[in-house]
């Protein structure tokens, strides 16, 4: 065989070999896509990212306290799918010896109300329950993002106004009994059923021109409206002041949890 033929075969083999034997580079694994963390039982995962908080057309109980609308970015977190129920709160009272809400008789909630939201719990009591459960109260921004998603919707189910068929009104109801009123993340009862305590003080938003004697480290915040209230109190951005020691027949709470 001629020298020229040997050279031709060698060059042909050198060209073909990389096609037959994958290189180390080609065998590298594709970049992994981060999996969505599994939410603890009864909770919902809210992904990190921005959302629009507040409203430039706020007409709540105190005009202007939810304005101006602004973009807020949050880390990921978990939030309870529903409000804390009477049955869940009783487990806490039984385990810790803490007194139950004052409307319970002989330390028991009324028959048929096990899965109603627990009411007449003040801010400190709500926070204590959350800590006992290995959680915390949601911040005001976390609550609003979980309620309205990233598209600045007026109500958890969307825009277009109030829809009484999607909320528990008239009387408290079993939590989660209005699935059509779920938020974009599947969080339930964020409009009506019960107002909810959140962490933080009732104060003005950045760059707000609103003035109110309620601002400052005096009042805590309740969100979401109640079974006995007007629709403009139950939208996703309305915020109301409440003294932290108050126990109201309209106010309950849900918990949140950080990713750690």
pLDDT digits (tens, 9 = 90+) for 103-149: 999 999 999 999 999 999 999 999 999 999 999 999 999 999 999 99
Greater model confidence, 82 or 30: 82
Is the confidence at residue 23, as pLDDT, over 70? no
Question: What is the model's pLDDT at position 14?
Answer: 44
- Could you tell me the strand order of the sheet in which 239-242 lies? 239-242, 220-223, 195-201, 251-253
Q: Which of 32-36, 184-188, 191-195, 247-251 has the lowest mean pLDDT?
A: 32-36
Terminus-to-terminus CA distance in the chain, angstroms? 71
Q: pTM, whole model, 2 decimals? A: 0.86
User: pLDDT band at 7, cuts 50/70/90?
Assistant: very low
Q: What is the pLDDT of residues 161-205, one digit of tens each?
A: 999 999 999 999 999 999 999 999 999 999 999 999 999 999 999
Taking residues 53-74, report their average pLDDT.
Answer: 88
Q: Which of 8-12, 60-64, 169-173, 254-258 has the lowest mean pLDDT?
A: 8-12
Phi, psi of 222 (to 5 degrees): -120, 150
Taking only Cα atoms into account, the Rg of the chain, rounded to an integer number of angstroms, comes to: 27
Question: What is the model's pLDDT at position 32?
Answer: 54
Assigned CATH for 34-258: 3.90.1580.10
Question: What is the model's pLDDT at position 18?
Answer: 42
Is the confidence at residue 34, as pLDDT, over 80? no
Using DSSP bridges, classify how beta strands 220-223 and 239-242 pair: parallel, antiparallel or unpaired.
antiparallel
């Amino acid at each position: 065989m001629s020298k020229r033929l040997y050279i031709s075969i060698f060059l042909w083999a050198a060209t073909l070999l990389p096609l037959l034997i994958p290189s180390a580079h080609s065998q590298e694994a594709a970049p992994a896509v981060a999996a969505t963390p599994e939410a603890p039982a009864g909770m919902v995962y809210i992904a990190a990212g921005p959302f629009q908080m507040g409203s430039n057309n706020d007409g709540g109980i105190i005009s202007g306290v939810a304005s101006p609308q602004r973009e807020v970015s949050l880390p990921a977190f978990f939030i309870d799918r529903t409000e804390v129920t009477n049955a869940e709160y009783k487990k806490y009272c039984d385990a810790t010896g803490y007194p139950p809400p004052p409307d319970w008789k002989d330390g028991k909630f009324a028959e048929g109300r096990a899965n109603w939201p627990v009411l007449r719990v003040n801010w400190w009591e709500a926070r204590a329950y959350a800590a006992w459960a290995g959680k915390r109260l949601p911040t005001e921004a976390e609550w609003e993002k979980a309620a309205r998603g990233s598209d600045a919707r007026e109500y958890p189910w969307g825009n277009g106004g109030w829809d009484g068929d999607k909320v528990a009104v008239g009387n408290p109801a079993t939590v989660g009994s209005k699935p059509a009123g779920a938020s974009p993340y599947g969080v339930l009862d964020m409009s009506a059923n019960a107002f909810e305590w959140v962490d933080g003080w009732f104060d003005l938003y950045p760059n707000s021109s609103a003035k109110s004697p309620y601002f400052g480290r005096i009042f805590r915040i309740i969100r979401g409206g109640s079974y006995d209230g007007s629709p403009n109190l139950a939208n996703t951005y309305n915020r109301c002041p409440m003294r932290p020691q108050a126990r109201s027949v309209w106010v309950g709470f849900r918990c949140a949890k950080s990713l750690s």
